[in-house]
Amino acid sequence: MTSRSTPPRQIVFEPSSCSVSDTPPTVLTIAGSDSGGGAGIQADIKTFAALQTVGTSAVTALTAQNTVGVSAVHVAPPELVERQIRVVLDDLAPRSVKTGMLATSEIIELVAAFAQEGLLPNLVVDPVMIATSGDRLLTEKAERFYAEQLFPHAAVITPNAVEAGHLCGRTLRSIGDLHAAAKQLGASGADYVVIKGGHIDGSQSVDVVWDGVESLELISARFDTVNTHGTGCSFAAAIAAELAKGSPKLDAILTAKRYIGDAIFGAKDWKVGQGHGPVDHSIQIRCV
């Protein structure tokens, strides 16, 4: 048998003409993993990438979940969470940090210790405390740690109306209630308080922002969609991404509001899973 003399066909790839010379800033998320990909660490990383930052993570818990619900949770040992945070801080120097599901009082206390040392710059705290079902995810001790130990070191905190009501000790039923609660939570020491108003009835969705001096209402349309899984995570992650890029806090909040509104609208007719599907984290890329 004779060997083939014809050389193999070759396809040569060259770098595209699109390149960015400046190194994008790094962002760290400390949160739980969502196997369904719509919330938690996965949503944060997608948001960081969409907003042109480098995402890193410290996983606090593994969850088995999909668009229908959560079937199992395995909390990471605090020692492992600490090691993840420390190695990212030592090597990758994140310019902002976002927290999501911290799972236990021990992990909240651990993260707070880093914050107290000034090691978590531009800290955005999304206090994941209440499940979609209304069930409490944390002990009273852990909830207290959020307010007492994390909030004082936060650039922005982003509770929804249910979480804010829980922190304030009362049910929030109106936009006026959101304003009062935002001022109350502002006394914790956080630079900005954003209470997400999606749980408040009305033809529009109204978020309330408090900066320690004045209130601001961020108003957007409500969309008839079930694809809202991960909106809170993604909103807070977007704020963190913008802070890492050097945006002033209010500008970061406004950009994040636009981003999540577009992401919800972009996915409003999707059919991903049988329950609450994800938002379109890549909306800005798709619409270029």
Q: How confident is the model at residue 138 (pLDDT cuts 50, 70, 90)?
A: confident
Domain hosting residue 67, numbered range: 26-283
pLDDT at residue 235 in the model = 97
pTM of the model: 0.94
pLDDT at residue 223 in the model = 86
Catalytic residue of the set 55, 233, 266, 277 = 233
Q: Which of 105-114, 129-138, 191-200, 240-249 is predicted with the least confidence, judged by mean pLDDT?
A: 129-138
Catalytic residue of the set 38, 186, 232, 261 = 232
Residue 228 annotated as catalytic: yes
Q: Is residue 4 part of a domain?
A: no
Total tally of structural domains belonging to the chain = 1
Q: Is residue 288 part of a domain?
A: no
**DSSP element (H, E) containing 156:** strand 156-157
Q: Is residue 2 part of a domain?
A: no
Q: Is residue 17 part of a domain?
A: no
Q: pLDDT tens for residues 251-272?
A: 999 999 999 999 999 889 999 9
Catalytic residue of the set 38, 55, 230, 277 = 230
Residue 230 annotated as catalytic: yes
Give the Cα separation of 45 and 248 in Å (integer): 22
* pLDDT, mean of residues 82-96: 98
pLDDT at residue 2 in the model = 58
Give the Cα separation of 195 and 239 in Å (integer): 14
Catalytic residue of the set 98, 196, 245, 249 = 196
Q: Is residue 38 part of a domain?
A: yes
Torsion of CA 111, 117, 119, 125, to 10 degrees: 40
Q: Is residue 19 part of a domain?
A: no
Residue 196 annotated as catalytic: yes
Residue 287 annotated as catalytic: no
Q: Is residue 5 part of a domain?
A: no
Residue 273 annotated as catalytic: no
Q: Give percent above pLDDT 90 in the chain.
A: 77
Cβ burial 41-79 (10 Å sphere, 16+ → b, else e): bbbbbbbbbbbebbbbbbbbbbbebbbeebeeeebbebe
Q: Is residue 12 part of a domain?
A: no
CATH number at residue 273: 3.40.1190.20
Catalytic residue of the set 228, 257, 266, 277 = 228
Q: How confident is the model at residue 130 (pLDDT cuts 50, 70, 90)?
A: confident
Residue 18 annotated as catalytic: no
* pLDDT, mean of residues 181-206: 91
Q: What is the mean pLDDT of the chain?
A: 92
